Amino acid sequence: MSFPWAQQYKPTTEFGQWMDEKLPIGRLIYNSVGAGYPTPRNLNYMWNFGSLAGFFLVVQIVTGIILAMHYAANAAIAFDSVEHIMRDVNSGWMIRYAHANGASFFFIAIYLHIGRGLYYGSYKAPREMIWLLGVVIYLLAMATAFMGYVLPWGQMSFWGAKVITGLFEAIPLVGKPIQELLLGGFAPDNAALNRFFSLHYLLPFVMAGVIILHIWSLHIPGSNNPTGVNVKGPQDTVPFHPFYTAKDGWFLGLALIFFTGMMFFMPNALGHADNYIPANPLSTPAHIVPEWYFWPWYAILRAFTFDFLFVPAKLLGVLAMFSAILVWFFLPWLDKSPVRSGDYRPRFKKFFWFGLIPCIVILGICGGAPAEEPYVMLSQLASAYYFAHFLIILPLLSRIEKPEPLPNSITEAVTGKPLEQAS
Amino acid sequence: MVRFFGILIGLFFAGMLIYSFGRGAVEYVSNPPVKAVEYQFHEKPKDVSFASDGPFGKFDNQQLQRGFQVYKEVCAACHGLRLVAFRNLAELGYNEDEVKAIAANWIIETPSVNPDTGEASTRPSVPADKFPKPFANDVAAAAANNNAIPPDLSLITKARNGGAPYVYSLLTGYSDPPSELPEANRPGAGLHYNPYFANLNIAMAPPITGDDQVTYSDGTKATVSQMSQDVSAFLIWTAEPSLVKQKQTGWAVIAFLLIATILAFLSYKTIWADVKAEKKKKDA
């Protein structure tokens, strides 16, 4: 859209012209995902996960709307209404398993999408706003997923809601009122279930709105690419359609094979057995754990085991858990290295692959494990590295690191010929 | 400014965590945690397979009918099946009349009201009814069972880690407590030692005690292991009646997706051929 060499939309039919004057929806599509969006020619498969995450959001919205037609948000019958969907609604089991596993696949896609941004410096100027909106989308996705897991009103739903809303209790003075406001009472019950259902239905549409802003702000500077070098001319790009629609399309098929493999053959592998027991406020499950996509943050929360002066350990854990995500909002200004792509940053690359990635994996394992040794000590070391990576290593690294020479252009990186000679 | 405050915050959190790690490590070394007794004696579910296992698994209707018979004659007095309806039994191969007879003759009647007086009463079940609960409420269930509430079995193979092999292991896993078991973990009054149960002592008395406790009409020898396996298989079905349909649908969907994905991949290759050719020249 903003590129001087962007193709202009030319309606070919009379009706197309008539529409273009009144409601240029064809122009919008053409410029956002059509031939009118010039995209770097060298994007690798890590650039496929944005559209994939969008696809799974649509899966969630469609299956979710159907589930809502049969689900009853009432603490007395919510559990049985889910079993009614599984047993009596035509293909209800398919809709529910698609929704339950779709959430996991949405998070797989979104984590790889975030990881891509972290490694290739997609958060750096001029793309800071895309990154900030992306963090907002991620926060909304976490809130939506958490509330969705409460709806079946099983044991893990109930106790998960109790533990997570209980976190707010740690905040001095206002904590308790906030918790009561969230729950609509003193403990999770019908009021909490109803507002969670209402918000679980609302937030995905808020997400869709922020995703439109996310994509809008992407189309101002255009896509980043594995070299991190700016697009310098038309030879550096290919039109989004048909080149990337085709690439996204076949990759979507591949992802769907994995997704349907999960949902038809091991639909409960990522869930908890305890959630097939109806919620019982009088019986606490042996291990209360959230869904796998929250494990790293849960590990950070539980890593704080000692009070600091007058600050209790629980409050420290809550502050650290929220800070661990909020730190992403400051990332564009913490990492000031002018080089975007990790491919050309020898030290950053090492910290990324041998520091950050193992640290997140360890946090994930520890978050899913019971709170006992050695998991607590491991999560303390990994959490310490997590904060050090974003808040200490990245700011200092951008000062001392000597980046490798960048290619002059994308075309040169791909074909070996300077931009001017390439056809 | 952002980086200055960032580094300070980073130092604070990392410092706190290293401090906590240090104190935890000292504690760990000086006072190593003892594994709970439950961990030492608890056993993982036995290795047992079912006809419905695996991506091509199917229910063995003969076995499900035997399992239903065990449920009816052994379990049903205490354990409900509240999410399953009598009509669902048609899926096990019973015909309409058999289902009607099973419903009408069930050991517990369905709660109802007397049509003349409006007083609470019961009536024989019809196929549309769910299995009636064996106890009117949790208080009655606890009172009749030494303060332990027998769980409903509709979802039991999905609601326990280990699934059907866990149910099988629990049913066949009763034994005398090992001599080295500490006194505090020995079964108290009304409890029974079972190493497959989470806290080793279960309130349920051994339900399947000897061979030929039920008499199978298909001639299968009713050993303890056979009856336990049959009822576990039946409980796989009650928890996931559409299990076989799920797998069959899954294969059809994946076959379609494979073809569609291969076609999409080929068109992707064609579309990119010219752009890739330029790159090939460089690599050559």
A226-248 pLDDT, tens digit each: 999 999 988 899 999 999 999 99
Q: Which residues of B touch A263 (CB under 8 A)?
A: 250
Which of B17, B239, B247 comes nearest A383 by C-beta? B17
> Is the CB of B18 inside 8 Å of chain A's CB atoms?
yes
Indicate which of A415, A417, A419 best probes the interface with B, i.e. most B CBs within 10 Å of its own CB: A415
Which DSSP symbol is given to B85?
A: B
Compute the nearest-CA separation of A200 from chain B (Å): 25
Mutation target to probe the B interface, by most B beta carbons within 10 A, among A250, A304, A373 is: A250
B7 touches chain A (CB under 8 A): yes
Q: Give 3-state DSSP helix, strand, coil % of chain B, rounded to 5.
A: 50, 5, 45
B265 at A interface, C-beta within 8 A: yes
Nearest Cα neighbor of A6 from A351, A256, A237, A255 is A237
- C-alpha span between A354 and A47 (Å, rounded): 22
Torsion of CA A400, A404, A408, A409, to 10 degrees: -100
pLDDT at B190: 86
CA dihedral sign of residues A179, A182, A185, A187: negative
Size of interface A-B (CB pairs under 8 A): 169
pLDDT band for position A419 (50/70/90)?
Answer: confident
Q: Which CATH class is domain A31-284?
A: mainly alpha
Q: A78 CB contacts (<8 Å, ≥6 apart)?
A: A71, A72, A151, A152, A153, A193
Q: Kindly report, residue by residue over A120-131, the tens digit of the pLDDT.
A: 999 999 999 999
**Domain chopping of chain A, boundaries:** 31-284, 289-400
A265, B246: Cβ pair inside 8 Å?
A: yes
CA A369-A370-A375 angle, 5° bins: 65
Distance from CA of B212 to the nearest CA of A (A): 33
Cα of A261 to nearest chain B Cα, Å: 7
- Indicate whether A3 pLDDT > 70: no
pLDDT at B134 over 50: yes
- Number of residues written out for chain A: 423
Chain B: give the shortest CA distance to residue A306, in Å: 6
Q: Which of A107, A97, A92, A116 is nearest to A56 (CA)?
A: A107
Q: Is B161 on the interface with A (CB under 8 A)?
A: yes
ipTM above threshold 0.90 = yes
A1 pLDDT higher than 50:
no
User: Model pTM?
Assistant: 0.94
The Cα–Cα gap between A309 and A311 comes to: 6
Give per-residue pLDDT as tens, A366-381: 999 988 888 999 999 9
Catalytic residue annotation of A: 219, 223, 247-248, 291
Distances (CA, A) of B5 to A7, A308, B2: 45, 20, 5
Distances (CA, A) of A4 to A8, A36, A221: 10, 11, 12
Inter-chain CB proximity B249 and A274 less than 8 Å: no
The answer to whether B241 touches B234, Cβ cutoff 8 Å, is no
Mean residue pLDDT across chain A: 93
Which of the four pLDDT bands, split at 50, 70 and 90, describes residue B280? Answer: low
Tokens of A193: 């279930």
